[in-house]
Amino acid sequence: MATGTASRALPRPLRERPLSRARLRPPRGRGADAALASGVFLLVAVGSLRSLIGEREESWAVTSAGWVLIAAVCGALYFCRRHPVAVAAFVLACNAAYYLNSAYDGPLMVAFVVALYSVAAEGRLQSAIALAALSVIGTGLGTLAGNEDVNGVAVFMLTGWLVGVIALGWVRHSRQAYAREAEQRAASEERLRIARELHDVIGHHISLVNVQSAAALRRLQKDPVKGAERAGEALGAIKESSRQALRELRATLGVLRQADEAAPTAPTAGLDRMGELVEAARLAGLDVRTQTDGGRRPLPTEVDLAAYRIVQESLTNVTRHARATTVTVRVDRGPADVTVEITDDGQGPAPAGGMPGSGISGMRERARALGGELTAGPAPGRGFTVRARLPYEIPYDVPNVPKPNIPHEVPNENGAPSPS
């Protein structure tokens, strides 16, 4: 039974791929390297066939040496992605030997162009420029030596071609570097998003459990008989808070496990469930008052979740830090945005730097990710106010902050939330 559960937890590609077959596969990219080397060899060989047929312009020894150089150069291209500079230098040297001795101008220069592109594509710009310069200088020396097959026009054209090849390789390197950086940034932002989501899910309910259990202990210590009834109510509230924490934690973990296969989902958290937050805060001893304007206008899913989390975190902070007795939660569903405001009557303003913990910064990041804004600070006279405005549509000029993924609850066979 445990083995079956563990196998279901593995991604589908790993479950279906035999280990022996995976071991027999060549390392990633080797097939492409072999195809590149074979393709260049075929191209050069076809272009050099006239050295084997027709009238002889050189000895068979020189022709054989030329074909050995062709085979060596094309074989070296198999390693150009792993050792680009060394391969390009070897190819350049072989090209020099080939063109100095062979009477047939075969297209072996194509191999050097490919090797030079690999050097630039791997980010070795200075090496690519140096190799290209050596090639141009060598060709120019042939012109000065009186080689009739090489002239100034050929040197100029060669220079242009090599500059273009280096530019193309460098563009590819830059695009790959940007893609890697974007991937790393996305992974970092995803870790922050998951940390913020877990903070909101766990912190709220654990704080309520802490407050309610402390209140129950105080009542039992003051009067064990009369406090037993109130302690029972507190234990019931603790049970409900822990149940909610488990449900939301399972929902969040369920999203992380849905990488391969779709799972049935249940409605996500939103302002329609704000009553649960209010009831939990009341059980913790707060007098919570709510005010809703704009009716029950439907909200975009990500906006609905963000508003819910802001109310949740604000009530958590009030319960833990504010020493308040009354909290007012106002929700205004406007035509273009929703405004959420939470005000308490705590004992004076918050400490410098805001309330302790990362809740305020997490709420502010949620609002910013949707193109909105959040302010938090002392209310006039006494208490603390958190106010967030969340637009229904993200403006185009919002910084590149990923939208918060929406956690879904994963029900089990009986319809109840389940972690798997």
pLDDT tens for 256-311 read 655 444 444 444 678 888 888 888 888 778 889 999 888 777 888 888 988 998 99
Taking CA atoms, 17 is separated from 13, 236, 354, 417, in Å, by 6, 49, 53, 31
Kindly state the tokens that stand for 380: 């006039």
Which of the four pLDDT bands, split at 50, 70 and 90, describes residue 152? low
What's the CA gap between 314 and 204, in Å, rounded? 9
Q: Where are the chain's structural domains?
A: 30-150, 271-391
- Of the listed ranges 3-7, 302-306, 336-340, the least confidently predicted one is 3-7
Alpha-carbon gap, residue 276 to 241, rounded angstroms: 10
pLDDT per residue over 245-256, tens digit each?
Answer: 777 777 666 656
Lowest mean pLDDT among 44-53, 58-67, 137-146, 159-168: 137-146
Contact 226, 297 (CB under 8 A): no
Question: What is the largest distance, in Å, between two alpha-carbon atoms of the chain?
Answer: 118
Q: Is the pLDDT of residue 107 over 50?
A: yes
Look at residue 116 in the predicted model and tell me its pLDDT: 92
Phi, psi of 100 (to 5 degrees): -75, -25
φ and ψ at residue 56, rounded to 5 degrees? -85, 125
Give the amino acid at 90: F
Mean pLDDT, range 334-348, rounded to an integer: 86
Element holding 187 (H helix, E strand): helix 152-222
Q: What is the pLDDT of residue 89?
A: 92
Q: 220-224, 274-278, 331-335, 350-354: which has the minimum mean pLDDT?
A: 350-354
**Mean pLDDT (whole number) for 360-376:** 88
Mean pLDDT for all residues in the chain: 75
> Is the confidence at residue 150, as pLDDT, over 70?
no
Quick one: what percent of the chain has pLDDT higher than 70?
71
Most confident of 44-53, 156-165, 216-225: 156-165
Residue 147, pLDDT above cutoff 60: no
Q: Decide which of 170 and 238 is more confident.
A: 170
Of 268, 309, 315, nearest in space to 290 by CA: 315
pLDDT at 374 over 80: yes
The arithmetic mean of pLDDT across residues 389-418, rounded, is 51
E strands, 227-345, are 287-293, 326-333, 337-344
User: 271-391 sits in which CATH class?
Assistant: alpha beta
For residues 98-114, give the mean pLDDT.
Answer: 81
Could you say which DSSP state residue 299 is in?
-
* pLDDT at residue 56 in the model: 63
- Return the structure tokens found at 330: 């106002």
Range 15-34 average pLDDT = 54
Q: What percent of the chain has pLDDT over 90?
A: 14
Which pLDDT score, from 0 to 100, does residue 143 have? Answer: 64
In the sheet where 326-333 sits, what is the strand order?
A: 287-293, 326-333, 337-344, 384-391, 373-378
Distance CA 380, CA 179 (A): 49
Residue type, 283: L
The reported pLDDT for the residue numbered 389 is 94
